Amino acid sequence: MKKNLLYLSLIIVFVGTVGFIVLKYQHTEKSKSTKVYSLLERKGLLAKTDEWLTTKKNVTLLQNKIEANPADIKSKIALANNFILESRATGNYAYYDIAAMKLANDVLEIDSDNFEALTLKSLIYLSQHHFADGLATAEKARNLAPRNAFVHGVLVDGNVEMGNYDSAVLCAQQMMDIRPDLRSYARASYLREIFGDYPGAIEAMKLAIEAGAPGDEATEWSRVQLGHLYENTGDLKSAEMHYQIALNDRPGYMYALAGLARLQLASKDYNRAIYYYQLAAKDAIDGAFKEEMANAYFLLGQKEKARTLTNEVIAELDKNAAVANANESIGHYADKELAYAYLSINNFDKALEHALLEYNRRPKNIEVNETVGWMYFKKGEAAKALPYIKAAFITNSKNPTLLCRAGLIYAKTGDAVNAKKMLQQGLQANPNIDQLLKTEAIQVEKGL
């Protein structure tokens, strides 16, 4: 009798607890659905630009229109666009993606086939690494407006992330045919890089920059990408020139500052690299560039500082991942990033665990296959790494980091011929890649 009463009491407690959790979740979701999102104050030089004044003015006007007429679809779409642009400018994707997603969903509740809302929703899904959802939503949008260039660009991104590279090329060509502009040239550049054509990638990114207005975020983002292409091909002078131009046209641009930091790492001026990363972080959200700074501190010999920063990165990524796992519509999947973060503190089991989680979402993506292969190698299981690293070359990528990693894996599995070939290709242009990887690759290549 006492046992039955105990079981009954436990059941009542369990049901009550579950009920409380459900009610709390429903309350949280209701709060999110009714929350009014606005602009967050910018930091540093970003807060002193004419662009910021214009953005604030536009957002206030749109919010007033929506408050006066909650069914104003046009203003909600425009406000969502402003939030997405602000996320790019500040790096605060976590806040502005949620804000923009709420507006897109509000519009879709009024009009489930609204093309603009579907396209924005797919873009936000991709930003949050919900790649399969983003691709599916973009395909639905394309069916509504097959001659829209922008949605073809989103389809390029989604197909690349899911490893559908031939489909990505077709979408890029359709985008270019409809509207050759900065966005289409930039995507053409990215695809050429993926398929191992660095000269073609550089040429297309130059066209993207020429198609944009100096100082615009999209233009300077493209210029920074061009700089990074030059880094991978060993032309550090051209890389520096483009980072400096980006900073001249868009003062304080965080990604250009991060590019200069990487160049300082190449010259082994680690204090200067940290300085540039700190400058970049001033205008960004809290936590930005911590992983890069951790690497600089590690190379400087300040390993405890590096570990502290990495643990902070892991904590933030874990928090984002928890949100993503609890809510299918929003929240940043971060398993690939977590894999490399755990690797940097030598937690190989956790690194591999997260790499495989990412692989299960998109097994055809070459970067994900590279990640899994590299985690197995660092865990001391080179034979298991081999099929993944082979899969990472389905597009004939010439990425120097991938080539060096592949060479080390082939060397460890006893394939000296392929090891030497990969390492020579990866090192031939003296690219600006991770110093520890580069040093190991040089040493192994000399011994073959």
pLDDT tens digits in sequence order for the chain, 448 residues long: 434 443 444 444 444 443 443 344 344 444 444 577 999 999 888 888 999 999 999 999 999 999 999 999 999 999 999 999 999 999 898 899 999 999 999 999 999 999 999 999 999 999 999 999 999 999 999 999 999 999 999 999 999 999 999 999 999 999 999 999 999 999 999 999 999 999 999 999 999 999 999 999 999 999 999 999 999 999 999 999 999 999 999 999 999 999 999 999 999 999 999 999 999 988 777 668 999 999 999 999 999 999 999 999 999 888 877 776 666 666 778 899 999 999 999 999 999 999 999 999 999 999 999 999 999 999 999 999 999 999 999 999 999 999 999 999 999 999 999 999 999 999 999 999 999 999 999 999 999 9
Residues found in the chain: 448
- Measured distance CA(213)–CA(101) in Å, rounded: 28
Is residue 126 in a domain? yes
CA 12 to chain centre: 46
Question: Measured between alpha carbons, how far is 379 from 355 in angstroms, rounded to an integer?
Answer: 12
Q: How many CA atoms lie within 13 A of 57 on its CB side?
A: 6
163 CB contacts (<8 Å, ≥6 apart)?
362, 363, 364, 365, 366, 368
- CA dist 286 and 211 (Å) reads 33
CATH number of the domain encompassing residue 60: 1.25.40.10
Q: What is the DSSP letter of 47?
A: G
- Residue span of the structural domain in which 127 resides: 51-143
Nearest to 160 by CA among 185, 128, 195: 195
Find the distance separating the first CA and the last CA of the chain, reported in whole Å: 77
Look at residue 350 and tell me if it is in a domain: no
Within a domain: 132: yes
DSSP state of 128: T
Spatial distance between the Cα atoms of 360 and 336, rounded to a whole number of angstroms: 11
Please give the tally of structural domains in the chain: 1
Amino acid at 12: I
- Asked if the structure places residue 112 within a domain, the reply is yes
Query: What is d(CA 93, CA 245) in angstroms, rounded to the nearest whole number?
Result: 25
Residues 46-72: tens digit of each pLDDT = 888 999 999 999 999 999 999 999 999
Residue 321 forms part of a structural domain: no
The one-letter amino acid at 358: E
Asked if residue 150 is part of any domain, the answer here is no
Residue 340 lies in a domain: no
Please report whether residue 171 resides in a domain.
no
How many other CB atoms are found less than 10 A from the CB of residue 316? 19
Q: Where are the beta strands (DSSP E) in 135-244?
A: none
Q: CB 15: neighbour CB atoms within 10 A?
A: 10
Residue pair 131/361 in contact (Cβ under 8 Å)? The answer is yes
CA atoms within 13 A on the CB side of 105: 13
Cβ pair 326, 318 in contact under 8 A: no
The 10s digit of each residue's pLDDT in 276-305 is 999 998 877 766 899 999 999 999 999 999
* Cβ-based neighbours of 196, under 8 Å, separated by 6 or more: 395, 396, 397, 398
